[in-house]
Amino acid sequence: MKVAVGVTGGISAYKAAELVRELQQKGLEVQVIMTAHAQEFIRPLTFAALTGQKVITQMFSSQQQEANIESAIEHIAVAQSIDLLIVAPATADVLAKMAQGIADDFLTTLYLATKAPVIVAPAMNVNMWEHPATQENIERLRQRGVHVVEPDSGYLACGMTGPGRLASTGAIIERVAEVLGLRQDLKGEVVLVTAGPTREAIDPIRYISNRSSGKMGYALAEAAQRRGARTVLVSGPTALHPPEGTELIPVTTAAEMRAAVLEWFPKATVIIKAAAVADFRPQKTTLQKIRKANKPLSLVLEPTEDILSEIVRQKEDRIVIGFAAETENLVASARAKLKAKHLDLIVANDVSQAESGIDSDFNTVTLLGCNGLEKHLPRLRKIEVANEILNEVVNLRSHGKTGKPRSR
């Protein structure tokens, strides 16, 4: 995994070197970006020596022999390659630019260009930190899903005392582990995830399906794998590549998905049904293409297998999680499904919003649990939603769901 560390101009910039080293010890590849002001406090050579990589210090190369096109699009290449952006220390200036969408250097342009999660660790004078403008900017970033590691209180370089010191490296690393799901709190679990749509053939050319990109299920598989679980991904047709380390079982129809789930069910300790299984299939499938005619065509449909209900009847001490994709009455509809299906947790997915849900990299969900949990999450990247769901798996295990993992 690769993270970008943005270093901005403050006295605590030197602490970023320790942060980079700790990130590397976690097995992460680190790319450092420095603002012009940061270079007044610590030299790029320090980070180059630590990372073994070029430190990005400006938007465009000053060397005429380098291709302009290469330097012009470098921020896009970095934006697409990273799994996380960390800005530490984050000055009042860079926080204001991020909040307002100003992109006047490499770091702020990278922030706008990346879809990876973002962590900021502010550091500044206490009066600057407590100023209403800074607090409004912080709140705006939080609303956009940026993770904020609050500054520590204490004696500051300016001689004042109060909040404004860069948070400890340990606190920043802890947030990184939380956001990326680097904790091994699912070690020993066997997590079975279903993802994507199923297709039910009408003829050799046409089929019935549900809309699904598979992104949420694949994010769940990736997050579970990172957190130490053995992960099995039963996937309908998608354009996605399976996360490294997961065991992929490709299927097409609801019947094939049912067979795969039931085959792996005895070994699984956690089952997450994120697939959009087609609810109906044609009673008859023709062997030849149905020719178009200028008259109505009638199809007789029959319901497909209810895989979720079938596995819940034999769940024993397994944790079973379902999804409810809704366009209205989100919580009420999901709560009814939670009760009817006897689930441990259901993810109520609001797919009516244009900027989240199906085909998007983001989701806006509410988590409902059999223990009374009702947790409304803001619009988050699907990998972040996945980790929130897995956090509840850990909570369920620690509060009574203590069944031992099956042998593998």
Residues classed as catalytic: 158
Between the alpha carbon of residue 158 and those of residues 123, 155, 162, 303, the distances in Å are: 12, 8, 11, 70
- Quote the CA–CA distance of 1 and 171 in Å, as a whole number: 20
Q: Are 241 and 291 in contact (CB under 8 A)?
A: no
- Quote the CA–CA distance of 168 and 150 in Å, as a whole number: 10
Phi, psi (rounded to 5 degrees) for 87: -115, 110
Place of tokens 């994709």: 325
E strand residue ranges, 44-92: 84-90
10 Å Cβ neighbour count for 144?
Answer: 12
- Quote the CA–CA distance of 382 and 38 in Å, as a whole number: 33
Three-class DSSP category at 7: strand
- Quote the CA–CA distance of 287 and 25 in Å, as a whole number: 58
- Please enumerate in sequence order all residues whose Cβ is within 8 A of that of 168, keeping only pairs 6 or more positions apart, or say none: 152
